């Protein structure tokens, strides 16, 4: 599969990781197709009116993926791509976790386990307003170890928030290594189902699958939906794919050339 938008986003991400400060490469790369699909095909948003009250909400709960989000927002036209060059420099608005000063960023996130409670709040507000606005929350799989995620999952199930969608970037890795060896999450689908959610399973690098799944939201009346998106950490850089060391990377000039070349060659199945 090759996709121009995804490739552009990956180029931007590796460029940011070539900054002296480096960046969260692996988790930004694993969710590229998810975010690109959301911003291109799913979200009812207008980059010219980022505060439109009727917009859909996207919260990046796995806030360490901020450079991935910034790249997608730039690519989608929320701000000029050139601005991303300031990432890693003093006083840049592009902090390593989402900064609400960046157009298109809804809320500051990145301390893990905050996005889903916020999403429940947005979804409740939409219901009280009688609006069909939807709220999408992108979570990391390691993040699911935070208790607040399950408080929110329970609340969303109990409240029957069928316009709330959680998307788990299931790349299977966290800083220490394999999520299952660190503190296992399986059977993950059963866990969400037991909290009253409808569970959809997709290949997170296949935009068609992500789009098809999200086009069916609300999937089940009175039940929130979670997409378990199987992904590969560091996707697009074969020499680092699926490795925990891709979590945070500072690319040298040579490393940047190599990474850029890999990204431009396109992803292989």
Of 75 and 106, nearer to other proteins (C-beta) is: 106
Count, residues in the chain: 269
Part of the chain binding other proteins (CB under 8 A), chosen from 9-17, 72-80, 126-134, 240-248: 126-134
Q: How far is the CB of 46 from other proteins (least distance, A)?
A: 18
Of 26 and 115, nearer to other proteins (C-beta) is: 115
Binding mask 21-60 for other proteins (x = CB under 8 A): --------------------------------x-------
Work out whether 73 is an interface residue with other proteins (CB under 8 A). no
Q: How far is the CB of 55 from other proteins (least distance, A)?
A: 11
* Cα angle for residues 187, 195, 110 (degrees, 5° grid): 80
Part of the chain binding other proteins (CB under 8 A), chosen from 71-79, 86-94, 116-124, 229-237: 116-124
Interface pick for other proteins out of 78, 122, 136, 195 (rule CB under 8 A): 122
Contacts of 74 (CB under 8 A, 6+ apart): 12, 80, 81, 83, 84
Q: Which of 163, 137, 164, 173 is nearest to 38 (CA)?
A: 137
- Of residues 127 through 186, those in contact with other proteins by CB under 8 A are 128-129, 135, 147-148, 151-152, 154-155, 158-159
Of 109 and 246, nearer to other proteins (C-beta) is: 109
Q: How far is the CB of 118 from other proteins (least distance, A)?
A: 4
Work out whether 197 is an interface residue with other proteins (CB under 8 A). no
| C-alpha to C-alpha distance for 151 and 118, rounded to whole angstroms | 12
CB 165 within 8 A of CB 152: no
Interface pick for other proteins out of 5, 24, 64, 114 (rule CB under 8 A): 114
Beta bridge partners of 202: 229
The site for other proteins, by CB under 8 A, has a size of: 30
Helix, strand or coil, per DSSP, at residue 138:
strand
Of 25 and 135, nearer to other proteins (C-beta) is: 135
Q: Which of 187, 182, 251, 217 is nearest to 28 (CA)?
A: 251
Which token pair is 176? 């220490």
Sheet with 198-203, strands from edge to edge, namely 57-60, 135-140, 164-170, 225-230, 198-203
How would you classify the pairing of strands 57-60 and 135-140?
parallel
Q: Where is 108: in which H helix or E strand? A: none
- Contact residues for other proteins (CB under 8 A)? 53, 100, 106-108, 111, 113-114, 116-126, 128-129, 135, 147-148, 151-152, 154-155, 158-159
């Amino acid at each position: 599969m090759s996709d121009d938008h995804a490739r552009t986003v990956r180029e931007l991400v590796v460029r940011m990781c070539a900054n002296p400060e480096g960046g969260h490469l692996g988790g930004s790369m694993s969710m590229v197709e998810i975010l690109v699909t959301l911003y291109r095909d799913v979200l009812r948003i207008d980059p010219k009116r980022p505060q439109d009250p009727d917009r859909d909400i996207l919260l990046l709960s796995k806030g360490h993926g901020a450079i991935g989000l910034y790249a997608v927002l730039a690519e989608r036209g929320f701000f000029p791509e050139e601005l991303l060059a300031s990432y890693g420099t003093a006083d840049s608005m592009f902090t390593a976790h989402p900064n609400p000063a960046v157009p298109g960023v809804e809320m500051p996130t990145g301390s893990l386990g905050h996005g889903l409670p916020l999403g429940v709040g947005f979804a409740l507000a939409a219901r009280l307003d009688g609006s069909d606005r939807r709220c999408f929350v992108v979570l990391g799989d390691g993040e699911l170890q935070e208790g607040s995620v399950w408080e929110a999952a329970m609340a969303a199930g109990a409240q029957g928030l069928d316009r709330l969608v959680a998307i788990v970037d299931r790349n299977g890795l966290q800083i220490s290594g394999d999520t299952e060896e660190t503190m296992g999450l399986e059977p993950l689908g059963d866990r969400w189902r037991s909290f009253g959610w409808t569970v959809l399973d997709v290949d997170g690098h296949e935009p068609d699958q992500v789009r098809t799944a999200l086009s069916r939201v609300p999937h089940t009346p009175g039940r929130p939906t979670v997409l378990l998106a199987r992904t590969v950490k560091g996707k697009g850089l074969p020499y680092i794919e699926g490795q925990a060391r891709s979590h945070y990377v500072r690319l040298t000039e040579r490393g940047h050339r190599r990474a850029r070349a890999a990204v431009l060659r396109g992803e292989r199945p």
